[in-house]
Amino acid sequence: MNRPCQPVRREAAPDRLEYVLRSAPPSEETRPGASPLRRLIPLVGEHKWMFWGGMVLICLGRVFEAWMPLFVRMGIDRMTTHNLNLLPPIGGILGLAAVRYVSVSYGRKYVRLVGIKVTYDMRERLYAHFQLQGPKFFARFPTGDLMARAINDLNLVRQLIGVGSRTVIVLGFSGLIAFSYMLSLSLPLTLLLVPVMPFIAGAGFFISNRIFRQSTKVQEGFSSLSEMVQENLNGIRTIQTHAQEAREIERFRGVSGAYADNYFHFMVLNAALNAWMVVFTGIATVIIMGYGGHAVLNHTMSLGTFTAFILYLGIAVQPIQQSGQMVSMFQRGSSGAKRLFEVLDYKPEIQNAPDTKPLPHIDGRIAFKHLSYVYPRRVSAKDARNIDPDTIATGVAALHDVSLDIAAGETIAVLGRVGSGKSTLLKLIVRLLDPAPGTVFIDGHDVLSLPMAQVRSQIALVPQDPFLFADELGRNISYDDPSRTEAMIWAAAEAADLEETINRFPERLQTPIGERGVTLSGGQKQRASLARGLIRNTPVLLLDDCFSSVDTETEEHILSRLKSLRSGRTTMLVSHRVSTARHADRILVLDDGHIAELGTHAELMEKGGIYAGFAKAQGRREVLKQDLEREQAQVAE
Amino acid sequence: MSAAGAVQQPRRLRGAFDDDIYGKSLDVGQVLRLLHWMKPYRWLAYSALVMVVLSAVFAVLAPAVLGRVLVDDIVLHQQGSAFADLGQKHLNAWIVGRFHIDPIVAAGIQYMTWVLLAAAFGRGFGLTFSRAVLNTLRDLRCDLFNHLEHLPSSFYDRVAVGRVMTRVANDVETLFELFAGFGQLAGQFVPFFVAITIMFSLSTTLTLEIFPVLPIVAVCTWAFRRVSRPLYRSIRMTVSRLNENLQENLSGMEVVQLYGREQINFARYSAINNDNRINENKALSVESFYGPLIDGMSFLVLSIIIWFGGHLVFAHMMTVGSVFLFTQFTDMLFRPIVAMGEQWNIVFRAMASGERIFQALDWKEALSVPANPTPLPADLKGKVDIRHLTFSYNPDHLILKDISFTIHPGERIAIVGPTGSGKTSLIRLLCRFYDVDPGEIFLDDVDIMQVDPADIRRRIGVVLQDFHIFSGTVYDNIALGDPAITREAAEAAAILVNADPFIRALPMGYDTPLSERGRNLSHGQRQLLAFARVLAMNPEVLVLDEATASIDTETERVIQDALRKLTHGRTSIIIAHRLQTIKDAHRIVVLSEGRVREIGTHDELIARGGMYRTLYELQFQEMQAG
């Protein structure tokens, strides 16, 4: 049951990660005004031999294919002249078919392989890039948007590289080949066919372009249909209480009718494309019949040449028929690439300074000197909707001139109302936000002068939101280092008062949680998140209001144990509960970003200020809550 | 061994959902049932079928003109050959004789005529067929939606809305794919059979020589599908794992960065990415060898035609034009086989979709409606009498336990109690979302189980917490299509509940279109709009679930004022969260654990010092502490 957590093979990863980061595509600054399509070229360039090799193979295949009608001509001519030797023509056809098969299948494979490779590289590049970003980036590009870019836009780019490029080059080429073969067979007949071509091209281009636009409309119609149903079902109770069913059904009839009509229009366009192609090709055939028929009768053309012409017509028309589709594939691929580069060009806002030196050892002294922090107003009003107001308040000053020295080994509680700047203070220490130079110090060194990796590995922050990953519970606790032993996990779980919970699950540490696993309660999640921070045993521990869903009794229990666990090491705990704060050596009360009060529990109680007010209100509330619980219990009996 | 094995991947529990079930077999019953919806459009469908046959015939006639008339008759002068020409030679001779034109020109006219007719009928088929199918499915969708619209609340308590939504949207869409596929097959099989028939009549020997190639193509297609299907499935799996991983990493980015997990997470992602690439490469290998192979087969057929056809020509058993004709038909032979392979997957998905759609359509869940409902008195006083009411969503856990109390006409009742005490269930029963059993609720001494639920809902005005904003204008949202509520009445209602100022401030006043969910309104504004809606309806009894969302003091004052006017002189039952609302109530019902714990006025209950007093003080403290 208790199988040990297997260590992850860590050595392989950094190489690949470094490679991906190093080989980042040239950014916008280095190539000003470059079109997104041009910026794709270096990506393909890494696989250029494969790409061009594939293209050449496909083109060769087309040459072989275009050669075929000449052997058909030979066959037909021998039939009409009663030449019994049919081996050369069919040998030619079969031979060409074989080499064509080989070259086309390998060619297609190679070109599409490049599409796969570029997608593969791009995925990792995006992933690595996301991991470097800070709150501003995620405020500007919400998760849903980034997902859409990583899925849809990448797909468009891949289609462009793997299929779009091939169609343009190859179909254009085969049209040209067919045309030149036709020229060599009969100049006048080819020239006679030239006037028909613009019609075929025009119809093919315009209709197939419209088909693509209509198909986007159909897709949009589908999603608005789904949305309408979803909204409607969400409000079904209101609809039923107000007897609005009939009206909503009528509206749905409209939406679904419009969708069907849009779809129908799409089908109409499809049918039109087919019909026009058949008609125009028919006209070209009639021209061949008229001229060729007479020429054969006059013996200026052989019947085989006549047949070959009809076959070439098919080869020449095919690329034209698909031209609109190719154009739209390019347009879409180009806009997808643009959206990808927009994200990739975003410079990480929080980076290591160029001359960082790790400290040999961190004691855990923290100092703030005249620290002020204002959240930058960088987001547009449109984007602001998607932003967690805790991470980015728009242009709001969060801290004003905060100065404080925290000794190594001290426990400090930070108390204040919502929005008083408590979380901001903690985030600045671990550089989830960047402080101004010379305002935040660790062991006397400006935090900006230390490598980010060291700061974050020596200072553990347990965030307010207990985000757990959809993985086993034990692996969530040993999140920072999967090679930790099970004993260490249990110790951390015990410190966070989670062992009892874990023991209640049949799979214990191996219990899968989140998404489709066991759903933990808010308090259990917070305790798991706490265990995840405690297991790291860092010189500095920052707890950002991580007891809000834990009941007071359990909290007391955890905090009293934490005292001995963390003795001699620095701990900062943010809370809005007095019961949490009283455990600390000193208590810092923040009010609207200013330091309002600072002192021990006893000192502040005596002072009779904000802290004392909180204590009184919260004490009364606790009593009332207990009363209520008792009374409910009585009713239940 | 896959690369993901080297790097440990997170372990998730994947439950089975009925959505994942694949259709087992071709269920004829289901298809027949679908035809019911096609009935109104059957003439469209029949004419589509006629047109596809005609189109195929003309599509075959055109090359016949080319091969038999132009090549054989005009160019090679193979008069009197006993091979089939579908009457084209006679037609040609007739045109030449009638209009005195060159036989080649006549052949061109013939050819072009057939091409135009084939194109026209082909297009006609496409249009009529897709119209018939689209209409059929549009109606099916509407019927399904109609059915869902009338399912009772209890159904939506259990079922996730997203799940129901996909049945209306995606499952019907899959059926369309199926029908579209059938249409495509029809468009290809008909020419296939016409071509085969003509080929046999031209030369049985040559046709039989070609025939063995068809099973080869069929087997290749089958094998390709067989091999590629699991590959595509594994690609879908790795891709969804990639997306899952990325999504989770983005959501938990703060933790990832704080805990220095960038490298490990990247390695995991990279491993899945690599698995995905391997799968894609495999699928690509299979795919890039299948497509060209089918093309290759058509070249094989071409050489068979020339080889055997040539020898038949020498033996005078076939004309050169017929050989030419055969080469024109090669394409028609392969297309339906390839298309069949593509259709195969859709058939199974469509069967599963059909099953889900019919399951939803057949879902019989309804409130019990009396056969001869008692009408509510025209002049309803608004007395509500609740007697021994017990209720549960599932038998193991009773939500309401034997509740009895009476609400007098015009009385304003506040219901308070801790979470899970049964407040919401009580008002849902009052609105008749569920059957009242056991126990009774009397409205002016009429048992509401004896009344048509629609009648009750016309007389009891309800404002729920998650009220729905309908897409339409502000006025539409107040009047809700009731012609009795004039523009003036709606405005009067809005003025009374203090909604008028903000409505007038909107760009187009009462004609401002509101998006669904009222995204362009603030929370307080939506609340006021809901008040206006229910006031315009002027119900005898008002049921209200007060919003819990915190709003600023000014809005709070406006809402309280509106609430006072709304409930004035009207029997009102309010789940109250705000101190002011509670204080303004005539009587307060305290629910706890599904039982009525206390009943009385605010002063009485405070004086009693029981549960109400505790709840009240707690609420008071929470307001103070912020």
Over residues A86-114, the pLDDT tens digits come to: 889 889 999 999 999 999 899 988 988 89
Cβ A278–B261 below 8 Å, yes or no? no
pLDDT tens for B173-226 read 888 888 888 888 888 888 888 888 888 888 888 888 888 888 888 888 888 888
Q: Rounded mean pLDDT of A559-578?
A: 82
Q: Does A614 touch chain B (CB under 8 A)?
A: yes
**pLDDT recorded at residue A380:** 40
Q: Rounded mean pLDDT of B568-573?
A: 87
Distance CA B323, CA A79 (A): 10
Write the DSSP symbol of residue A507: T
Nearest CB partner across the interface for A417, out of B74, B130, B626:
B626
| pLDDT cut 90: percent of chain B above it | 5
Cβ B293–A101 below 8 Å, yes or no? yes
Task: Output the DSSP codes for A114-150.
Answer: HHHHHHHHHHHHHHHHHHT--HHHHHHS-HHHHHHII
Cα distances from A88 to residues A71, A93, A547, B309, B437, in angstroms, run 8, 9, 87, 15, 91
- The partner residues of B70 in beta bridges, in order of sequence, read none
Cα distances from A242 to residues B218, B450, B477, B543, B574, in angstroms, run 59, 20, 11, 12, 18
Q: Does B520 touch chain A (CB under 8 A)?
A: no
Residues in A touching B431 (Cβ below 8 Å): 241
- 3-state class of B388 per DSSP? strand
Distance CA B318, CA B82 (A): 9
- The H or E element containing residue A571 is strand A570-575
Of the pLDDT bands very low, low, confident and very high (cuts 50, 70, 90), residue A31 is: low
Q: Rounded mean pLDDT of B265-281?
A: 88
Tabulate helix, strand, coil % of chain A (nearest 5): 65, 10, 25
Of the pLDDT bands very low, low, confident and very high (cuts 50, 70, 90), residue A395 is: low
**pLDDT recorded at residue A21:** 66
User: At residue A26, does pLDDT exceed 60?
Assistant: no
User: At residue A427, does pLDDT exceed 80?
Assistant: yes
Q: Does B16 touch chain A (CB under 8 A)?
A: no
Within its chain, how far is the Cα of A597 from the centroid?
Answer: 45
Q: Does A117 touch chain B (CB under 8 A)?
A: yes
Q: Which residue has the higher pLDDT, A18 or B588?
A: B588
Cα distances from A232 to residues A221, A255, B158, B171, B604, in angstroms, run 16, 12, 17, 18, 44
Q: Does A397 touch chain B (CB under 8 A)?
A: no
Distance CA B421, CA B400 (A): 8
pLDDT tens for B300-313 read 888 888 888 888 88
User: At residue B238, does pLDDT exceed 80?
Assistant: yes
Phi, psi of B515 (to 5 degrees): -80, 160
Distance from CA of B380 to the nearest CA of A (A): 18
Least confident of A296-300, A427-431, B10-14, B294-298: B10-14
* Cβ atoms of A589 and A421 closer than 8 Å: no
Using the CB atoms, write b or e for B207-224: b if 16+ within 10 Å: bebbeebbeebeebbeeb
Q: Among all chains, which residue has been given the structure tokens 């084939």?
A: B118
At a CB cut-off of 8 Å and minimum separation 6, what does B514 contact? B469, B470, B471, B472, B473, B474, B477, B520, B521
* Cβ atoms of A201 and A217 closer than 8 Å: no
Cβ B14–A268 below 8 Å, yes or no? no
Cβ B62–A510 below 8 Å, yes or no? no
The two beta strands, A594-599 and A397-406, are unpaired
Residue type, B546: E
Angle at A425 between CA A424 and CA A426, to 5 degrees: 90
A310, A396, A275: which is closest to A68 by C-alpha?
Answer: A310
User: At residue A313, does pLDDT exceed 60?
Assistant: yes
Residues in B touching A222 (Cβ below 8 Å): 169, 173
Q: Among all chains, which residue has been given the structure tokens 């200013």?
A: A594
**pLDDT recorded at residue B13:** 37
Cβ A233–B156 below 8 Å, yes or no? yes
pLDDT tens for B373-400 read 888 888 888 888 888 888 887 777 788 8
Q: Does B327 touch chain A (CB under 8 A)?
A: yes
The two beta strands, B587-592 and B595-600, are antiparallel
pLDDT tens for B33-57 read 888 888 999 999 899 989 988 988 8
Distance CA B394, CA B409 (A): 33
Angle at B91 between CA B88 and CA B95, to 5 degrees: 140
Of the pLDDT bands very low, low, confident and very high (cuts 50, 70, 90), residue A33 is: low
pLDDT tens for A507-541 read 788 888 765 556 677 778 888 888 888 888 888 88
Q: Which residue of B has its CA nearest to A541?
A: B258
Residues in A touching B7 (Cβ below 8 Å): 8-9, 12-13
Least confident of B5-19, B123-137, B316-330, B557-571: B5-19
Tell me the Cα Rg of chain A.
36
**pLDDT recorded at residue B121:** 92
**pLDDT recorded at residue A83:** 79
Residues in A touching B8 (Cβ below 8 Å): 6, 8, 482
Of the pLDDT bands very low, low, confident and very high (cuts 50, 70, 90), residue B115 is: very high
Cβ B112–A8 below 8 Å, yes or no? no
User: At residue A378, does pLDDT exceed 50?
Assistant: no
Q: Which residue of B has its CA nearest to A426?
A: B258
Phi, psi of A29 (to 5 degrees): -65, -40
Cβ B243–A461 below 8 Å, yes or no? no
Distance CA A375, CA B366 (A): 54
Cβ A256–B138 below 8 Å, yes or no? yes
User: At residue B591, does pLDDT exceed 90?
Assistant: no
* Cβ atoms of B76 and B320 closer than 8 Å: yes
Distance CA A211, CA A230 (A): 29
**pLDDT recorded at residue A350:** 78
User: At residue B455, does pLDDT exceed 50?
Assistant: yes
Residues in B touching A9 (Cβ below 8 Å): 6-7, 267
User: At residue A27, does pLDDT exceed 70?
Assistant: no
Cα distances from B209 to residues A271, B146, B301, B322, in angstroms, run 35, 57, 9, 15
Sign of CA dihedral B232, B235, B241, B247: negative
Tabulate helix, strand, coil % of chain B (nearest 5): 65, 10, 25
Q: Which residue has the higher pLDDT, A13 or B15?
A: A13
Q: Does B366 touch chain A (CB under 8 A)?
A: no
**pLDDT recorded at residue A9:** 37
Distance CA B398, CA B401 (A): 7
Strand order across the beta sheet in which A397-406 lies: A397-406, A366-374, A440-442, A445-446
Distance from CA of A591 to the nearest CA of B (A): 14
**pLDDT recorded at residue B314:** 85
User: At residue A30, does pLDDT exceed 60?
Assistant: no
- Which own/partner contact pairs does B422-428 have at CB distance under 8 Å and 24+ positions apart? B422/B391, B422/B591, B422/B593, B422/B594, B423/B575, B423/B591, B424/B545, B424/B575, B425/B391, B425/B393, B425/B399, B425/B400, B426/B389, B426/B400, B426/B591, B427/B462, B427/B543, B427/B545, B427/B573, B427/B575, B428/B153
User: At residue A597, does pLDDT exceed 50?
Assistant: yes
For residue B513, whether the previous peptide bond is cis, meaning omega lies within 30 degrees of 0, is: no
Cβ A289–B75 below 8 Å, yes or no? no
Least confident of A58-67, A129-138, A326-335, B102-111: A326-335
- The H or E element containing residue B583 is helix B579-584
Write the DSSP symbol of residue A616: H
Average pLDDT, chain A: 80
- The partner residues of B447 in beta bridges, in order of sequence, read B442
Q: Does B324 touch chain A (CB under 8 A)?
A: yes
Of the pLDDT bands very low, low, confident and very high (cuts 50, 70, 90), residue A8 is: very low
**pLDDT recorded at residue A264:** 92
Q: Rounded mean pLDDT of B332-352?
A: 77
Q: Does B189 touch chain A (CB under 8 A)?
A: no
User: At residue A388, does pLDDT exceed 70?
Assistant: no
- 3-state class of B589 per DSSP? strand
Cβ B153–A237 below 8 Å, yes or no? yes
Q: Does A260 touch chain B (CB under 8 A)?
A: yes
Distance CA A57, CA A108 (A): 8
Structure tokens at B197: 């028939």
User: At residue B623, does pLDDT exceed 50?
Assistant: yes
User: At residue A390, does pLDDT exceed 50?
Assistant: no
Taking the CA atoms of residue A357, residue A361, residue A367 and residue A372 in that order, the dihedral angle to the nearest 10 degrees is 40
**pLDDT recorded at residue A595:** 83
Distance CA B34, CA B38 (A): 7
**pLDDT recorded at residue B135:** 92
Q: Among all chains, which residue has been given the structure tokens 């509520």?
A: B485
Q: Among all chains, which residue has been given the structure tokens 């006639």?
A: B61
User: At residue B18, does pLDDT exceed 70?
Assistant: no
Q: Which residue has the higher pLDDT, B10 or B581?
A: B581
Q: Rounded mean pLDDT of A475-497?
A: 84
Structure tokens at B446: 């009429």
Nearest CB partner across the interface for B611, out of A78, A286, A628:
A628
Structure tokens at A384: 């602001």
**pLDDT recorded at residue B17:** 31
Residues in B touching A276 (Cβ below 8 Å): 119
Longest dimension (CA), chain A: 121
Residues in B touching A465 (Cβ below 8 Å): 254
- 3-state class of A589 per DSSP? strand
Residues in B touching A628 (Cβ below 8 Å): 418, 611, 614-615, 618
Residues in A touching B469 (Cβ below 8 Å): 235
User: At residue B331, does pLDDT exceed 70?
Assistant: yes
Q: Among all chains, which residue has been given the structure tokens 């192609």?
A: A277
Of the pLDDT bands very low, low, confident and very high (cuts 50, 70, 90), residue B517 is: low
Distance CA B455, CA A441 (A): 71
* Chain A residues 162-221 with CB within 8 Å of chain B: none
pLDDT tens for A185-223 read 888 888 888 888 888 878 877 887 788 778 778 878 887
At a CB cut-off of 8 Å and minimum separation 6, what does A619 contact? A578
The two beta strands, B571-575 and B541-545, are parallel
- The partner residues of A542 in beta bridges, in order of sequence, read A461, A572
Distance from CA of B186 to the nearest CA of A (A): 15
Interface test with A, best of B75, B269, B303 (most A CBs within 10 A): B303
**pLDDT recorded at residue A381:** 37
Taking the CA atoms of residue B384, residue B387, residue B392 and residue B397 in that order, the dihedral angle to the nearest 10 degrees is 130
- Please give the model's pTM, rounded to 2 decimal places: 0.72
Sign of CA dihedral A264, A265, A268, A274: negative
* Cβ atoms of B12 and A517 closer than 8 Å: yes
Distance CA A143, CA B247 (A): 7
Distance from CA of A33 to the nearest CA of B (A): 30
**pLDDT recorded at residue B47:** 93
Residues in A touching B418 (Cβ below 8 Å): 628, 632
Q: Which residue of B has its CA nearest to A456?
A: B258
User: At residue B576, does pLDDT exceed 70?
Assistant: yes
Longest dimension (CA), chain B: 119
| pLDDT cut 70: percent of chain A above it | 88
Angle at A56 between CA A53 and CA A60, to 5 degrees: 140
